[in-house]
Amino acid sequence: MTQAVIFDLDGTLLDTRDDLGAALNDVLQRHGMAQVAPAVYSPAISNGVKALLEVGFGDKLCEFDFETLKQEVLDYYAQNLAVHSHCFTGVESLLEALAQKGIKTGIMTNKPTFLTLPLLAQIEALSDIEVVVCGDTLSVAKPHPEPLLLVAEKLGVDPEHCIYVGDAARDITAAKAAGMRSAAALWGFIPSLKEAQSWSADLDLTNPESLFSHI
């Protein structure tokens, strides 16, 4: 019996691609590099700033100081967290349905706290999420299971009664290691449908609302 659903953030609950892409393109422009289109940067978003810089700078990345570029991306993004970001279609109705059924909700994201909490504060639809654990809450992050186990503990739910929904391979790995049911968010920033299906999640979901039929 499912008593709690835990979500990844970027690419699962929130479509943050254009704000993160804007941060990347701002840095690219500052350094005289060509800007990249959403189709190029979107698959990299769930893998963090390093992956964004790699797709933006390509083989030129080694010519720059990586830490400086990373900080420039973070500085821009921190000032522009929710210009374009919004819940994916179906997320709000899913959260409402879960609440009506008394199923608890939480977030476990590898995004750092200093970006996660201010972003969530600007997204009204996510204001009732009960527990939020970030990438720097503990000394380990996904794919390590410990952050997911912490969310379950804070929610007061045994891991076996939790579903974790995410759009990256490490999300599925973490869920399985934590003893939770895993669900792949195929609407998110997946590399490809074929690769996402190869993760062997317990559930492959084409849209957020489809989760409710598995509870």
Per-residue pLDDT of 154-174, as tens digits, reads 999 999 999 999 999 999 999
The tokens describing 20, both together, are 């993160």
Residue 111 above 90 pLDDT?
yes
Percent above pLDDT 90 for the chain: 94
Hey, where are the domains in the chain?
4-15+86-213, 16-79
pLDDT (average), residues 105-130: 95
Classify domain 4-15+86-213 at the CATH topology level.
Answer: Rossmann fold (3.40.50)
Q: Is 8 a catalytic residue?
A: yes
The mean pLDDT value of the chain amounts to: 96
Note the pTM of the prediction, 2 decimals.
Answer: 0.94
- Cα–Cα distances in angstroms (integers) from residue 191 to residues 41, 179, 195, 196, in the given order: 11, 25, 7, 7
* Alpha-carbon gap, residue 24 to 43, rounded angstroms: 14
Percent above pLDDT 70 for the chain: 100
Q: Which residue has the tokens 């999420």?
A: 129
Q: How would you class 194 by CB atoms within 10 Å of its CB: exposed for 0-12, middle for 13-18, buried for 19 or more?
A: exposed
Confidence tier at 46 by pLDDT (50, 70, 90): confident
Confidence tier at 47 by pLDDT (50, 70, 90): confident
Question: Which residue out of 8, 10, 15, 19 is catalytically annotated?
Answer: 8
What pLDDT score was predicted for residue 48?
Answer: 87
Confidence tier at 177 by pLDDT (50, 70, 90): very high
